[in-house]
Amino acid sequence: AQSVSQHNHHVILSEAASLELGCNYSYGGTVNLFWYVQYPGQHLQLLLKYFSGDPLVKGIKGFEAEFIKSKFSFNLRKPSVQWSDTAEYFCALNRDDKIIFGKGTRLHILP
Amino acid sequence: DTGVSQDPRHKITKRGQNVTFRCDPISEHNRLYWYRQTLGQGPEFLTYFQNEAQLEKSRLLSNRFSAERPKGSFSTLEIQRTEQGDSAMYLCASSLAPGWANEKLFFGSGTQLSVL
């Protein structure tokens, strides 16, 4: 069963637009959630993570994500995107000691 | 470069041949993961090690796939009798664990396998 669902497969925005990428998870245990990013030609790297405490977590490059337990969601946001944010974004969940990834959202920012 | 390194970067093979990939994790990392990624999909978990112990192997993984981490440092992933469906990017990642506050995967560049 798919543990992590990313609904937007491909998003195109203009620079300075606001961004929200959806992520829903299905897991009954304690959740640890992540967003990873892969810039063109680069390795996957961690953008931000949630383990406990404040459900609003801030990551690198102005990104943030909010854990909403009642909605099983962990959406990624950025108030104003830049051309350099063009990348593929993966939501991930720690399940049974493994990191399970969603299918990813390809974000394309128009200059 | 002190990151995760994978070798080779690209591998082209004929159906039925065996292939082996190598991953060198970050030196102090005790966990090592193998993932497979195809176009339009996220990384799919294959297996992982804590030190030299293989803790889990995906149930979806064919028995043609085997992985080792003999000294708790580098790891190899072997695919026997390759099939065209094995064509994918094979990613290795390492992390410091346990301790979820430390749980951050560092990925290598991957090995792109093409089975003809």
Rounded to whole angstroms, the Cα distance separating A27 from A24 reads 10
CB A88 within 8 A of CB A104: yes
CB B109 within 8 A of CB B7: no
Residue B12 falls in which region: left (phi positive, over 0), alpha (psi -120 to 50) or beta: beta
- Put simply, the answer to whether B103 touches A103 (Cβ < 8 Å) is no
Predicted confidence at residue B72, as pLDDT, reads 86
No. of H helices and E strands in chain B? 0, 11
User: By three-state DSSP, how is residue B102 classified?
Assistant: helix
Predicted confidence at residue B65, as pLDDT, reads 95
**CB-facing half-sphere around the CA of A10: CA atoms within 13 A:** 1
A59/chain B closest Cα distance in angstroms: 13
Q: Which of B35, B48, B100 sits opposite A94 (nearest CB)?
A: B100
Cα–Cα distances in angstroms (integers) from residue B75 to residues A85, B18, B30, B43, B72, in the given order: 33, 17, 12, 18, 8
Chain B residue nearest residue A31, CA to CA = B100
Q: Which residues of B touch A (CB under 8 A)?
A: 3-4, 33, 35, 40-45, 48, 55-56, 91, 93, 100-101, 103-109
Predicted confidence at residue B81, as pLDDT, reads 97
Q: Cis before residue B43, ω within 30 degrees of 0?
A: no
Q: How would residue B100 be classed by pLDDT, with cut points 50, 70 and 90? A: low
State the average pLDDT over residues A56-77: 95
Chain A residue nearest residue B39, CA to CA = A103
- Put simply, the answer to whether B109 touches A43 (Cβ < 8 Å) is yes
Beta strands in B26-110 (DSSP E): 31-37, 44-50, 53-57, 65-68, 75-79, 88-95, 106-107
Chain A residue nearest residue B98, CA to CA = A97
Write out chain B residues lying below 8 Å of A43, CB-based.
Answer: 3-4, 106-109
Q: Which residues of A touch B (CB under 8 A)?
A: 4, 6, 9, 32, 36, 43-46, 49, 51, 90, 92, 94, 96-104
CB B45 within 8 A of CB A98: yes
Predicted confidence at residue A30, as pLDDT, reads 80
Mutate to test the interface with B, among A39, A42, A44, A48 (most CBs of B within 10 A): A44
**CB-facing half-sphere around the CA of A72: CA atoms within 13 A:** 11
The residue type at A35: W
Rounded to whole angstroms, the Cα distance separating B13 from A63 reads 41
Predicted confidence at residue B98, as pLDDT, reads 63
Condensed to tens digits (0 to 9), the pLDDT of residues B21-42 reads 999 999 989 999 999 999 888 9
DSSP state for residue A33 in the 8-state scheme: E
Condensed to tens digits (0 to 9), the pLDDT of residues A31-45 reads 889 999 999 989 899
State the average pLDDT over residues A77-94: 96
Report the relative pairing of strands A105-110 and A87-95 from DSSP bridges. antiparallel
Write out chain A residues lying below 8 Å of B100, CB-based.
Answer: 32, 51, 94
Condensed to tens digits (0 to 9), the pLDDT of residues B54-65 reads 998 898 788 999
Q: How many CB atoms lie within 10 A of CB A46?
A: 18
